Structure 1
Amino acid sequence: MQKSELKTPYFMIDESKLIHNLEIAKQLKDISGVKLVLALKCFSTWGVFDIIKPYLDGTTSSGPYEVRLGHETFGGETHAYSVGYSEDDVKAVADICDKMIFNSQSQLAAYRHLVEGKVSLGLRLNPGVSYAGQDLANPARQFSRLGVQADHLDSSVFESIDGVMFHMNCENKDVDAFIRLLESISTQFGTYLDQLDWVSLGGGVFFTWPGYDVKKLGMALKAFAEKHNVHLYLEPGEAIITRTTDLVVSVVDIVENEMKTAIVDSATEAHRLDTLIYNEPASVYESSQNGEHEYVIGSCSCLAGDQFCIAKFDQPLEIGQKLHLMDSAGYTMVKLNWFNGLRMPSVYCERSNGEVQKLNEFDYTDFKRSLSQWSVQ
């Protein structure tokens, strides 16, 4: 299968780039002794788990279907976490997870009898400090519902759990900032941590970012683990798949209203939702910083403000031209939806040997089935 023959829109995962990130993850593990579990909320495209599995230790989840997917398709350790479990959720995953992490002391008390003796029990704690660029993604934001604050803790809870989870980072590229967060939780919770078997420090630590001091991070994690005599986990998502995947689109029209807009056969609302939610413009591989031809890269949805970015090009864009929207793996395929009944992007992986492998494709029947399956008689 040749890339030139593929119909847009589609995602293209690059195996070589993925392995590059995974080798950095291996380096971090070797230095620190930390275990890494893939955050499925960020990336769940199980068709490439064969590439990832040799490097990571398992998966972590935010809902019952992710737990099942991790158990069935990844293996290793399967961590189950949810902001709000139902009784059915707990029963559904009790026999297929290794660790179950509750978000509150009340949920722990309500459901522990269903899993005790089957899993290692954990509780999410909220240290009140975090590193996040936007308030929407800040676990320590005002009135946060995520985890138990230090002044709300019943100390007796530590007698009946095995570990805790902190998630306090979002795209943290600053190793020194992360170390300060480690020091903060050690100061606040150190006495409790000393009683536990394991601590998960969550995700959002961008250790594969260019120039990141992986050795410094690894040594800090090792020191923390030794200080409190615990096994450490990180839950990377973006760090594993960053800069591995393009969303490839085609220009279908060019319109002008004070500024030229190239309309493409994709939409942020349906195919790259975080571009819209966080107002973080996409980057276009074909663009040029000093190009003379400037365009809005607009979607084909009916939402007026639905656009990918503004970009400059050395040459005028043409209808039918393909554009590569870079770094489109994290929080994209897990958030795809059928808004406007748009064609869903296919998913491919370009293997290291140059072979292009189809992982998934969608058609009208998928759209129709997502809305109703049985007719009313």
Structure 2
Amino acid sequence: MHTVPDANLLAIPTPYYLLDEAAIVDNMQIIARLCELSGAKALLALKCFATWGVFDVMQPYLHGTTSSSLNEVRLGYETFSNNHNEDPRYKNRDKKETHAYSVAYSADEIDEVLIYADKIIFNSISQLNAFKDKASAQNIPVGLRLNPKTSNSSFIIADPARPFSRLGEHDRDKIIAVLGDITGVMIHNNCENDSFEAFSDSLADIEARFGNVLAQLEWVSLGGGIHFIAPDYPLEKLATRLKSFSEKYGVQVYLEPGEASIHGSGSLVTTVLDTMHNEKNLAVVDASIEAHMLDLLIYQESASVASINDHAISVAPVGTEQKNNAPDNTIIYGRSCLAGDIFGEYALPNQLQVGDTIAFGNAAGYTMVKKNWFNGVGMPAIVIRRLDGSIDIQRKFDYQDYKDSLS
């Protein structure tokens, strides 16, 4: 890591991810407010965001991390937990929790998982039966994922309650039969849900179906996917609902904010390499959605433009009705060979030129954790704007990293 003199972003070769600590702290303060009002605890979901170079500004506001694999639980323990950290900055901070979850643990990794975990959550009763004794022998609280078979998700690919879902147990009688082996449950059935009413109704349905289970637990994690950082979200109503739920069943409530922790705090900065015209204006930048913003491809979405040539400009991709008979629109492509490597179509104030710098917005969540070396396209550096305005290049990637990722 090194600091760029005079905080000159234009001196950094593109592409790079740019994280803004001040924007992250803004989200952290909303999360902390929700926890203060509700009594809930918030755990960073590492599956969404695991760029540990900014964990120092997140740690004062969150209660720990939650994971989906051995590597993630180890990362959370090593970089977020202060249980073993002798750094004086962490000396007076509250103990952080490290929750471990996986869709399926293998027998050869469970012992290492338990080294790092403060709680371990099993996805199924069969996994619970296979490994509960190891956890109990180390006095590690055990949980089970519960699947209510209902959800708030607009995407079938991300819907944990999709038909034939493997994500958690749904049979109430079978869950009751193992209550003696668990102290809590995790329920993750929201995805980008910005409706308090939808969340509350869903929670009421869970209470109606599993109330006798909840009343026998010590803690309940309600997962992530709740977009409570939106400016118009009724945060106080959510807090009241969570507090009421907690008091009714006598449980500690956990939330697992991923996107909510870092929404709006990152961008992917690119440079225009080429321009063409094929009925519309075309531009090719030095990054790729398949390699660097994969969720755009998975969910068939487009990126917003946050700045051009370092001048802030908020341009949303045009809708379907705005694409027809619009020869002045610009389609921005990635540089991979995938025909559909498209950041989006835009009505820009000026035509793009080779050498222009374009920053795409909201590029923190589900980007760096999914980046890949498709086509051998250069990997974006990770750059951080610190709270004091200084710019750190946290990590660069080169050919050796590409080569080492293969064999």
Q: TM-score, normalised by structure 2?
A: 0.89
Contact 1:58 1:78 in 2 (8 A): yes
Q: Tell me the residue number matched to 1:107.
A: 127
**Residue 260 of structure 1 contacts residue 295 of structure 1 at CA under 8 Å; is this kept in 2?**
yes
Q: 1:79 aligns with which of 86, 90, 99?
A: 99
Alignment of 1:328-367 (within 5 A): 328-367=363-402
Question: 2:85 — aligned with what?
Answer: none
What is the rounded CA distance, in whole Å, between the counterparts of 1:5 and 1:78 in structure 2? 38
Give the letter aligned to residue 277 of structure 1.
Answer: I
AA partner of residue 235 (structure 1): E
Larger deviation, residues 201-210 vs 30-39: 201-210
Give the residue type in structure 1 aligned to 2:198: A
Match for 2:263 among 228, 238, 242?
242
Name 1:316's counterpart in structure 2: 351
2:279 touches 2:327 (CA, 8 Å); kept in 1?
no
2:192 is aligned with what amino acid? E
How far residue 352 of structure 1 moved from its aligned partner, in angstroms, is: 2.3
Instruction: Show structure 2 runs of 5+ residues with no match.
Output: 82-95, 307-312, 319-325
| 1:293 CA drift (Å) | 4.0
**Equivalent-residue separation in structure 2 for 1:203 and 1:313 (angstroms):** 35
Moved more, 145-154 or 278-287: 145-154
Q: Does the 8 A contact of 1:293 with 1:315 survive in 2?
A: no
Query: Which residue in 2 is equivalent to 1:41?
Result: 47
2:56 alignment counterpart: 50
Task: Give the drift of 1:91.
Answer: 1.2
SS at match of 2:329: strand
Q: Which letter maps to 1:317? A: L
Q: Does 1:196 align with 2:217?
A: yes
Decide which of 303, 326, 329 is 1:294's aligned counterpart: 329
Deviations 1:45-85 (A, max 9, x none): 00000010000000000000000000000001000000011
Taking a change above 3 Å as real, the CA distance of residues 288 and 370 of structure 1, as seen in their structure-2 partners, is closer
Deviation of 1:150 after TM superposition, in Å, equals: 2.9
1:308-337 C-alpha deviation (Å, 9 max, x unpaired): 100111111110000010000110000010
CA distance in structure 2 between the aligned counterparts of 1:182 and 1:91, rounded to whole angstroms: 34
Letter in 2 for 1:38: L
The answer on 1:17 being equivalent to 2:23 is yes
% same residue: 48
Are residue 92 (structure 1) and residue 112 (structure 2) matched?
yes
- Alignment gaps of 5+ in structure 1: 373-377
Q: Which amino acid aligns with 2:242?
A: L
**Residue 36 of structure 1 aligns to which amino acid in structure 2?**
A
Distance 1:154 1:135 in 2: 26
After superposition, what is the alpha-carbon deviation per residue over 1:113-164, rounded to whole angstroms, capped at 9, x for unaligned?
A: 2211321100000001110111110110111110001356242201121000
The DSSP-based 3-state class of the residue aligned with 2:116 is: coil
Once the two structures are superposed, residues 233-259 of structure 1 have per-residue CA deviations (whole angstroms, 9 ceiling, x without a partner) of 000000010000010001000112222
- Superposition RMSD in Å: 1.4
User: Amino acid of the residue matched to residue 209 of structure 1?
Assistant: A
C-alpha displacement of 1:90: 1.1
For residues 169-188 of structure 1, the aligned pairs below 5 Å read 169-188=190-209
Q: Residue 310 of structure 1 aligns to a residue in which SS?
A: strand
Aligned to 1:344, the other structure's residue is in SS state: coil
Deviation at 1:8, TM superposition (A): 0.5
Mapped partners of 1:276, 1:252: distance in 2 = 21
Taking the aligned partners of 1:74 and 1:225, their CA distance within structure 2 comes to 26
Amino acid at match of 2:344: C
The amino acid that maps onto 1:192 is V
SS in 1 for 2:248: helix
> Are 2:232 and 1:208 equivalent residues in the alignment?
no
Match of 1:27 among 20, 28, 33: 33
Task: Provide the residue aligned with 1:137 in structure 2.
Answer: 158
Segment of structure 1 superposing worse, 280-289 or 72-81: 280-289
**1:123 has 2:158 as partner:** no
- Are residues 1:326 and 2:361 paired? yes
135 and 12 in structure 1: CA distance in 2 versus 1, 3 angstrom threshold: same
Moved more, 256-265 or 148-157: 148-157
Alpha-carbon offset, residue 4 of structure 1: 1.1
SS of the equivalent of 1:167 reads coil
Over 3 Å counting, the alpha-carbon distance change for 1:279 and 1:88 in structure 2 is: same
Cα distance in 2 between the residues matched to 1:262 and 1:287: 18
